Structure 1
Amino acid sequence: MNTSLTIGLVFCLAMFSLGSALQCYKCSDYSGRCSNVQDCTYEDACLSLSERGGKTIRRCIRYTDCDNARLSQMFPAVSGFTYRCCSSNLCNSSPATMVSRSFLGVLASLLVFWWCML
């Protein structure tokens, strides 16, 4: 395959993914498994909030609301929690899911690179 065509294809795919809306998991459970996906606005981030008792809340949230004081106001029934806000697609999944997704992305990139070099 022609190198300039390969570079153009990679560039187009990168631009396409930049224009798409952020997607986050949306659920509230104890299992850590979540399959509901929510489309967010351009002002949003993905939230993963873990209660002290083991329940995890995942959803879109305004990026400006990602601080301890604001989250305490938004979730008054939650006495103790840790949280993480992120801004890439489906980044609020469980840690095991994130590792497998990252691995698959690297593997796919290596396969495309190898195929293009043939």
Structure 2
Amino acid sequence: MKASVGVCVVFVLALVGLGSAIKCHSCKDYMGTCSKTRNCYYDDACLSVYERGGDTYRQCIKYSDCNYNTIREKFPDISSFKFSCCTTDLCNAAAVSVSSRSVVAILLSLALFWWGVL
């Protein structure tokens, strides 16, 4: 019984973030020190465009527009670039970070597992 309740709680917590809008970094920077954030729409992704000269553009973008041709149209002044799109909160940061929501979910899962074992 305890195990099934634990599984249900973990499942519900995993669904809490689904369907909500994400938050992305939103700025142009050279040193990777972007601190401005923006709440995006529910169908957006976080975009990072890395210019060959060193500048990085970070912003929200509609997920379906996350392709080379559309990004080239949105940034016509950049001749050579790489880009990446992601779909979790603040995932377009300069450094890879672990979402606090993920840490809480992992800790809760471990606690429920321990509780179910006893």
For normalisation by structure 1, the TM-score amounts to 0.78
Q: Cα gap change, 1:107/1:40 in structure 2, threshold over 3 Å: closer, same or farther?
A: closer
Partner of 2:67: 67
Partner of 1:41: 41
- Aligned counterparts of 1:33 and 1:105: Cα–Cα separation in 2: 23
- Aligned counterparts of 2:16 and 2:98: Cα–Cα separation in 1: 19
Q: Cα gap change, 1:25/1:73 in structure 2, threshold over 3 Å: closer, same or farther?
A: same
Report the RMSD for the aligned CA atoms in angstroms: 2.5
Q: Per the alignment, in what secondary structure is the counterpart of residue 98 of structure 2? A: helix
Partner of 1:55: 55
For normalisation by structure 2, the TM-score amounts to 0.78
Q: Cα gap change, 1:84/1:8 in structure 2, threshold over 3 Å: closer, same or farther?
A: same
Q: Name the count of aligned residue pairs.
A: 113
Shift of 1:61: 0.7
Q: Cα gap change, 1:108/1:9 in structure 2, threshold over 3 Å: closer, same or farther?
A: closer
Amino acid corresponding to residue 51 of structure 1 in structure 2: E
- Aligned counterparts of 1:9 and 1:34: Cα–Cα separation in 2: 36
Partner of 1:14: 14
Identity value in percent: 44
- Aligned counterparts of 2:19 and 2:65: Cα–Cα separation in 1: 23
- Aligned counterparts of 1:47 and 1:74: Cα–Cα separation in 2: 12
Q: Per the alignment, in what secondary structure is the counterpart of residue 47 of structure 1? A: strand
Shift of 1:9: 2.1
- Aligned counterparts of 1:45 and 1:115: Cα–Cα separation in 2: 32
Shift of 1:62: 1.4
Q: Cα gap change, 1:31/1:14 in structure 2, threshold over 3 Å: closer, same or farther?
A: same
Partner of residue 111 from structure 2, selected from 102, 112, 115: 115
Unaligned runs of 5+ in 1: none
